[in-house]
Amino acid sequence: MTALKELFDLSGRVAVVTGGSTGLGLQMAEAMAEFGAKVVICARKADRLATAEAKLREAYGAEVLTVACDVAKAEAVASLHDKVMERFGGVDILVNNAGRAWVAPVEEMPLERWQQVFDLNITAPFMLAQAFGRRMIAQKKGSIINIASIAGLVGRNPDAYNSIAYGASKGALVNFTRDLAIKWARHSIRVNAICPGFFVTDINRKVYDERPEKIDREIPLGKPGGDSDIKGAAVWLASDASRFVTGAIIPVDGGTTAW
């Protein structure tokens, strides 16, 4: 019988976290580093990546590779893949976290913004899974964690959060997770999704500051997620502790979807 601590150990594994320089992405990168993984973080802004890299090295002694790129672009995904392979020779964990939203009433949503949200929230995870999945197939193992949202599971009160493109794209990511899990189970690749509830991050801080009481009332625990509240789920899904879990959709939402 494997000791429980060993099941959660990520020592020697390579974890790629997109959007890993701030917010939930940095939370999960920290968690992977704390449990021993070599961490690759990518984001568009090099200065934020440098700050995150310093934190991961100083706090956890992690081996870190940072790549400044826009994963909504196919050529950037290919370049990221090549840099990871050159540095580490493989990948064990892919966290598709990079995402965006555009808040507007449905009747006023610009088509251009709708497309940008879909490009990053669902097309990018497809391209990244395809690129790194080929290596996982060859090595007959891997864990892909898609960061969806409770907005992809239920309709949302527009008084609290009004982004039809975000909810629709995250709903697509939820079913992408389920379908890919079935298709790649034969390769011993596990594919799961975390659906965060409301966490205050750079992507939605303005929204929260404008209406904190309305948003808090939507959460049974009465407050947004904190700065370590997604770490446990991420490490569990990345590690052997969840080796019999695939196709799962895990809400981390303070009870919001239990209403």
The DSSP line for 62-126 is --EEEEE--TTSHHHHHHHHHHHHHHHS--SEEEE-------B-GGG--HHHHHHHHIIIIIHHH
User: What pLDDT sits at residue 1?
Assistant: 63
- 39 touches 29 (CB < 8 A): yes
Q: Is 166 a residue of the active site? A: yes
Active-site position among 60, 161, 166, 208: 166
Residue 259 lies in a domain: no
Residues spanned by the domain of 226: 11-253
- H or E element at residue 177: helix 164-184
| pLDDT higher than threshold 80 for residue 202 | no
Q: Positive or negative, the Cα torsion across 101, 147, 37, 84?
A: negative
CA 227, CA 236: separation in Å to the nearest integer? 17
Residue 103 lies in a domain: yes
**pLDDT, tens only, 154-201:** 887 777 678 899 999 999 999 999 999 999 999 999 999 999 999 988
Residue 1 lies in a domain: no
pTM of the model: 0.96
Half-sphere exposure of 100 (CA within 13 A, CB side): 16
CATH code of residue 225: 3.40.50.720
Q: How far apart, in Å, are the Cα atoms of 102 and each of 1, 78, 121, 167, 178? A: 48, 27, 12, 10, 25
- Considering only 29-33, 50-54, 158-162, which range has the smallest mean pLDDT? 158-162
| pLDDT higher than threshold 80 for residue 259 | yes
Residue 4 lies in a domain: no
**pLDDT, tens only, 220-238:** 999 999 999 999 999 999 9
| DSSP-assigned beta bridge partners for residue 252 | 196
State how many domains the chain has.
1
